[in-house]
Structure 1
Amino acid sequence: MAILSCSAISAGALAQDYDVLLRGGTIYTGSDAPFVGDVAIAGDKLVYVGPRASGKAKRVIDAKGMIVSPGFIDPHTHVGDMLAGDDAAERLVLPFLMQGVTTAFIGNDGAGDPDVASVLGRPRSHPVGINYATFVGLGAVRNKVIGPVDRAPSADELARMKTLVATAMCQGALGLSTGLFYAPQSFAKQDEVVALAREAAVRGGIYDSHIRDESSYTIGLSGAIEEALTIGREAGLPVHIAHIKALGVDVHGQAGAIIAKIEAAQAAGQVVHADQYPWSASGTGLSASLLPRWAEDGGRKAMLARFDDADTLERIKVEMRENMRRRGGADSLLITSGGPDISGKTLAQVGTDMGLDPVDAAVAILRKQSASVASFNQSEADIAAFMKRPWVMTSSDASTGHPRVYGSFARKYDKYVRQEQVVPLRDFIERSSRLTAEAFSLQGRGRLAAGSFADVLVFDPERYSARADYVQPTLFAKGVRFVFVNGGLAVEDGAPTGVSAGRALPRTATSHCP
C-alpha cells in the first residue's frame, strides 16, 4: 500500500529528467513501511519516490544493499558558533554530515540569541553545510535585560523581556528555550517563564526546556517535569523536554514514573514530546555539575569573591561534595576541556595529580578557568525505557569534548538498533527525521516524498556506526555513503565534498506579528 501511494504521488514525474537517481536501495520514507525502490532528485526537491523510476538522470547512483532515508534532524545542539563562524570548512558542520544529519536546531538550553533575524540571515553571506533553525532563549533574554543576578524582573524589565521574545518569534524563532538548571536562568520563577512562554505561544511557538532538575538538586526530576508541563498548560503551547534523562544515583530507575506522568498529560490532551542522546554520560560545565547555584549569583567575579572568603568557601564545598556524590563520585566526572594538563582525566585523577581532595581540585580549576566534563550519571535501563517511547526523538546535545558531537545518530543505530535491538530500524529513522519535523512544523522536511526538499541519507547498514568515544571524541562516524542537503551532494562515496547547500529555516509565526 505504501509503494502504491508513493508511486501515485509521483506519477506526473515519471517522464521527466532527474539530476540524481538513487536506484535500488531499501527506502525508509520516514512514515511508510520500507521497500526496495528508487528516489529521484531534481534541483532542491524530490520528484519521485517509489518502486521503479523511468526517465533520464544526469547521474545514477547504485544504492542496492544500502538504506535510503530522510536526512536526520537534530533538535538539540550547540553548534551555533560553528554555523556562524568565519571558517567556511567549519560551517560545513562535518561531524553532522558524516552521520547523515542535514538539519540542526540551535539556541537550546536558553542560549538562543534574541536577534533571530541576524542568526537566520547570516548564510546569505556565509554559506553553511546543513539546514538550521533557532530558538530564542530565556538565558540570553534575561542576561540582556537583568544580568546574571538572582532576582525577579521588575514590571518594566518583564515587559522588555516579553518584547524581545515576541520580536524573536516574529523573526522566525521556533519557540522559547530555557535552561532552568543553569544560573542565571535558575533564578527565574515559574510565573516569569510562563509570561515569556505566552509570547511564544500566541505566535505558534513551542516551549523547549532543559528542565530545572534532572536529578535531586532542587525540586527533583519529577517536580521539574511537572513544572514544565504546568508552564505548557498555563502558557498554552506544546512542551518539549530536552535530552530527557534520569541523572544521578538518586533518581536511577525513575524513567517509568516520568514516562507515566508525561503520557498522562498527553492523554489529557497536552502536546508533549522529548529528545534524547544515546550516551550514559551527559556533558556540562564543571561549575554546573558541582557548584550550588547561589555561588554563581552575580557571575564569575562574584563566584571568585566567595571562593576567597573562607567560611563561604567551606559552605560551597559541603554542597559540592553532595553534588559530586549524586553524580556518582569523582571517578565519574571526566574533564573534557580546560587545558592539556587536565583534559582527558577524571576529577579523581586530577586531584591525585594536584595532591588535593577532588573537591579542592575542582575549586582550583574553577579559580583559573571554566572547564567542561562528561558526567557518567545514567543507567542503561533508564536510557532504554525513554528510547522506546514513540514521542522521544533522537538528538545529540552536541557540545565540545563529548563524542556525541561526532557520533550520536550513528551510535544509536549501531548500539541500540543493530546490537541490542532496543528499537527497530524503522522507529530509529522515523524518530530521527519525520517525528522531529512534524513536532516542530518543518514544512517539506523529514520525509522522502515527491515535493519534499531533497535532504537524503544513504548509509551502509553493515558499517554505519560511531568511531568517536570519550578518549577520542572527534572521530567521524563511518558507513555513510551519500548525503544530499537541499539536493546538493554534501557527502559522496563516504567523503565530504565541500558543498555548502544548507539553509536557515525560519518558522512562520501564526499571528500577532507586524
Structure 2
Amino acid sequence: MKGRESFAPLVAGLALLLLSACQTTFKPPQRIAADYLIEDGLVYDGSGTAPRIADIAVRSDRIVFIGDATDDQFADANRIDASGLIVAPGFIDPHTHADNQLASADPEQRQNKAFAFQGVTTVLTGNDGYGSSEIAKMATGARQQGIGTNVAYLAGFGYIRKSVIGDDDRAPSEAELSRMKDMMTRAMCEGAFGLSAGLYYTPQNFARTAEVVELAKIAGRKGGYYDSHLRDESSYNIGLIGAVSEAIAIGRQSGAAVHISHIKALGPAVWGQSSRIISLVNTAREKGQSITADQYPWAASGTRISNALVPRWALDGGLAGLRERLENAAMLDRIRSEMAGNLVRRGGAEKLLITGGLGDAAIEIGQTLAELAARSGSDPLDVAIDILKTGDARVASFNMHADDIRAFARQDWVVTGSDGSTGHPRKYASFPKAYRDLVVDGKSMSLSRFIRRSSGQTADIVGLTDRGYLKVGMAADIVIFDSESFAPRATYEQPRLLSTGVRHLFVNGQPVISGGQSTGALPGSPLLKETQC
C-alpha cells in the first residue's frame, strides 16, 4: 500500500479507460477479515523466484491474502509496516537438539528463543538417532505445555536399538529385530517424519548396514525419509567416502529418501574430499534416488571428548564400560594409543576448545585441550583421560576447511541447518551466519536461493505440506527481517547471544517476536506426519 502512491494516477486512468470500454460498473475489492496485515514488504515466497512488493493478510493461523491491499480492505486488521524489510516464510531447521528445551517445565526455555531470533519457526528433533520413538507422548506434552516454535519429530535408531538391546556390541536376534521394527512402525503411525541414525555414535555404531535398512524400509514405505549422521565423517572407521556410500546404499535398499545431516569433511585426512562426495551424490540423484543434505556454516563441529577421541570399541557398555577398561593397564595403553591417532585426526589438542563440562568432571571452560595440558604440565591425552574418568566435556572441534564448506554450500541439494546444541554458537546463530557468509560477504548466493534453502526446500524434504511457502491457505509462519542488521552475535567464547535483525516473527499466525522483542507467546504446534496405518 504505502510507497506505491506514485503509481496512483496511472492506475486510476487505466481503470477509467477499461471501465469505459467494457461499459461495466466498478466493484470495490471485497473486505476480508484479518488479524494482521503486513504491508509493503519485499516478499520472497520460498520458491526461489524473484521477490515482489506485496501485502500479506493473516487470519487465525493461516495466510488469507497476498497482493496489493486497498486502504479499507482490511480495516480492522493490526497493521505492520514492513517497508524496507524482507518478508519470507519462517525458516525450518532440519537438524536440532532442542528436544529437552521444548519439553522443559520452564516456559522461558520452551519459547525456543535461540532459534526464533534466527527466523526459525519450525525445528526438527530426534536427530542423530537419539530421538524417542514415543511420538504421541511428546506431541501431547508439547500441546499441553505450549511451545514457542513448531516441532516435528524423527524416530531415533539409537533410541530404538538401545531400548531393545542396550549398549551391547552385537546384532539383534530375530525376535529383537521384530520388536525394533514394531517400535519404528508405531512411531511412523504416531506422526514421525522418518528415521534418524547416528551410526558414528555408540551403541549405534555396532549395527550393521542391513539392520539399519530394515528400519529405514518402514520409514520409506510410509512416506518418510532416512536422516543420517554418517558412520564416519573423517577416517575413523570406513572413511568419509565409505560412509556416504553406505547412506546411499541404505536409501537404495530401503526405498527411503536419504538426508545427510551436517555434511562435512572432518579433519585434515579428508580435506578436499568434498568433490568426490558431491560426485557420489549427484550420480545417485541422476539414477533416481532422493539424496539431500543440510549444512551449518561453521568451521568447528560440536561434540564431546568421548566422541572425538575414544575408540568406538572402548565404549561398549557406554562410559561405564570405558571407565572399567581405563582401570586395566593393558587396556589403558591400547585406548591411549588409539586416542593419540584420533587426536591427530582432529588436528591436534590446540583444535579442541572446551565449551562445557558433563558429569562430575572439574574442568575450565573456554580453554583448549592444549592450554589445559600446558597449565597442568600434563600430556593432552592424560588430561582427556582424567576428564573421562569422572565425566565428559563438550568441545568445539576446529577441523573443517573453508574450501569444502563452500563446495557443499553451492550444491542445490544442500539446505541450511544448525545441528544446534549446547555450548556451540551454531544453536543461536547458524541461519544469520549462513546469510552473512553466502549472501552478504561471500556474494556467492542470491537472497532468493538462501531463503528457499532455509524454508520451502526444507519443507519439501521433510514433508511439511503446509509450511515453507508464502501462499494463501498456508500456515502463517512468517519472518520479517532487516537485510542490513540480520546477523549472528554468538561466538565460541559467548555461544548464547541471540542473533539480531528479526523484527517480527509469526508462528501459526501469532507474533512471537514483535518490534525485535520476544512476546513470550507459545503458539507453536507439534507437527505430525499424516500416515495411513
TM-score for both structures, normalised by structure 1: 0.96
Moved more, 336-345 or 182-191: 336-345
Residue pair 2:143, 2:526 contacting (<8 A) in 1 also: no
Root-mean-square deviation (CA, aligned residues, Å) is 1.4
Question: Is 1:321 aligned to 2:340, yes or no?
Answer: yes
Give the alignment of 1:175-324 within 5 angstroms: 175-324=194-343
Tell me, in whole angstroms, the C-alpha distance in 2 between the residues paired with 1:52 and 1:264: 47
In structure 1, the gaps of 5 or more residues are 1-10
Shift of 1:150: 0.6
1:23 aligns with 2:27: no
Match of 1:44 in 2: 61
| Alignment-mate amino acid for residue 429 of structure 2 | G
- Whether contact under 8 Å (1:214, 1:220) holds in the other structure is yes
- 1:146-200: CA deviations, max 9, x gaps? 0011100011111111111111110011111000000100000001001111121
Provide the rounded CA distance (Å) in 1 between the counterparts of 2:511 and 2:442: 32
The residue identity in structure 2 corresponding to 1:402 is: H
Cα displacement string for residues 198-251 of structure 1 (whole angstroms, at most 9, x for unaligned residues): 121221111000010011111111110000000011011100001101110011
Take 1:25 and 1:376, find their aligned partners in 2: how far apart are those partners? 39
SS at 2:182 equivalent: helix
| Structure 1 SS opposite 2:167 | coil
Question: How far 1:17 sits from its partner (Å)?
Answer: 2.6
Q: How far 1:14 moved relative to its partner?
A: 5.2
Q: Secondary structure at the match of 1:464?
A: coil
CA distance in 2, matches of 1:12, 1:304: 77
Secondary structure, counterpart of 1:18 in structure 2: coil
Could you tell me which runs of 5 or more consecutive residues in structure 2 were left unpaired when the two chains were aligned: 1-26
CA contact (8 A) 1:13 1:47 kept: no
Q: Of 419, 428, 435, which residue of structure 1 is paired with 2:450?
A: 428
- Greater CA drift, 54-63 or 430-439: 54-63
Q: Distance in 2 between matches of 1:347 and 1:63?
A: 48
Write out per-residue CA displacement over residues 356-383 of structure 1, whole angstroms, 9 at most, x where no aligned residue. 1011110011111121111011111111
C-alpha contact (below 8 Å) 2:489/2:499 kept by paired residues:
yes
Question: What residue is the counterpart of 1:144 in the other structure?
Answer: 163
Whether the 8 Å contact between 2:37 and 2:74 is mirrored in structure 1 is no
Question: C-alpha separation between the residues in 2 aligned to 1:63 and 1:116?
Answer: 38
Deviation string, structure 1 residues 410-456 (Cα, Å, up to 9, x no partner):
11112221011132111110000000101111021000011010000
Instruction: Name the CA distance, whole Å, in 2 between partners of 1:392 and 1:270.
Output: 15
Deviation at 1:12, TM superposition (A): 12
SS at structure 1 position matched to 2:403 = helix
Structure of larger gyration radius: 2
184, 202, 207: which is aligned to 1:165?
A: 184
Q: 1:481 deviation in Å?
A: 0.3
Matched with 1:106 is 125
**Matched position secondary structure for 2:78:** strand
How many aligned residue pairs are there? 501
SS of 1:29's equivalent in the other structure is coil
> Residue in 2 aligned with 1:492?
514
Provide the residue aligned with 1:459 in structure 2: 481
**TM score, norm. by length of structure 2:** 0.92
**SS class of match (1:125):** helix
The answer to whether the 8 A contact 1:148-1:183 is kept is yes
Cα distance in 2 between the residues matched to 1:45 and 1:186: 43
Amino acid at match of 2:518: P
Instruction: Classify the secondary structure of the residue corresponding to 1:139.
Output: helix
1:80-101 CA distance string (max 9 Å, x none): 0000110011001001111110
CA contact (8 A) 1:384 1:422 kept: no
